[in-house]
Every structure is written in structure tokens, then in C-alpha cells.
Amino acid sequence: MAAIINQWAVITIVLSGITLVIGVFFIRRGNREAHMRAMLTASALATIFLVLYLTRLGLGYEKKYVGPAEWRGAYYFLLISHIILAAANLPLAVVALWNAWKGLRAAGNLGNIGAPVARRFFDRHRAWVRWTVPVWLYVAVTGWIIYLVLGRYGQVVQG
């Protein structure tokens, strides 16, 4: 069961990363509504991933790297940076979403986000996502790489 949960976790985080990029594309094109929908979808998929990932860990399913020794250092560098930035990404994303939500509430609708009462929240949102998006993408891509490496050079450890 844990192996199936692991596969679904990977699917959700891949879709989250793709949806994140789509959301960035939409906001750069000025399509605020599509951006909002894409980012909420990316956030929901990332949340589902986290639940599945923690469930898998709770079931004691883990893989350890047993690949070539000369790759071990690079693998662990990738893994450690992934873990640290994944932990940082959650509060970054929550603060970015919080500011967008507060801004939308203050504006009343997406067409009114330039209102002074809403502008400050969207300015904060934009400031936070300048850090959040690159971290989120790094975490997603390194997670995919780690998954692929462990698919080839991983050994299941039952805890």
C-alpha cells in the first residue's frame, strides 16, 4: 500500500509543479483569474502530496540510496538541500497565499486589486512569491530527481 501511496504522492507533486508554472504564465499575461485558479490548484496538489508523503512515512516505507559511491556526495547534497528548502517552502507559500487572500478580501474582486486598501496585501504577496516560486520549483524538481534516482538506486527500508 505504501508503494502505491508513494506513486500518487509523486503524481500530485509533479502536477503541482506544472500547475505552478502555468500560474506564473497566467499572471505574466495579466490573467488574474486563471492565475488564482492555477495557484490554488497547485497549492491543493502540494497539500495532498504532503498528506500522502507523511502517510507513506508513517507506514514505515522509506528508500535509502545504494547507488555508485562516487555519486553519493552529490545525491546527499541534493537530498539535504531539498529537505531544507521543502521545510522553508511551506511557510513561504502560506504567507504568500495569506496576503493574496487578504488582498482579494480587501478588494472585493479581482478587478479592484489596485485599490489602496488591497494594494498593500498584493505588494506583500508579490514580494513573498519572488522567493516562494523559485524555492517551490527547486523543491519540486529536486524531488522528482530524487524519486528517479531512488527508483534506480534505491533500496526499500521497512521501519
16-56 per-position pLDDT tens digit: 999 999 999 999 999 999 999 999 999 999 999 999 999 99
Closest CA to 100 of 91, 88, 111, 110: 110
H-helix or E-strand spanning residue 62: strand 61-65
pTM: 0.89
Domains recognised in the chain with CATH numbers: 2-158 (1.20.120)
Give, to the nearest 10 degrees, the angle between helix 32-58 and helix 69-107: 130
pLDDT digits (tens, 9 = 90+) for 127-137: 999 999 999 99
- Per-residue three-class SS string for 69-114: HHHHHHHHHHHHHHHHHHHHHHHHHHHHHHHHHHHHHHHCCHHHCC
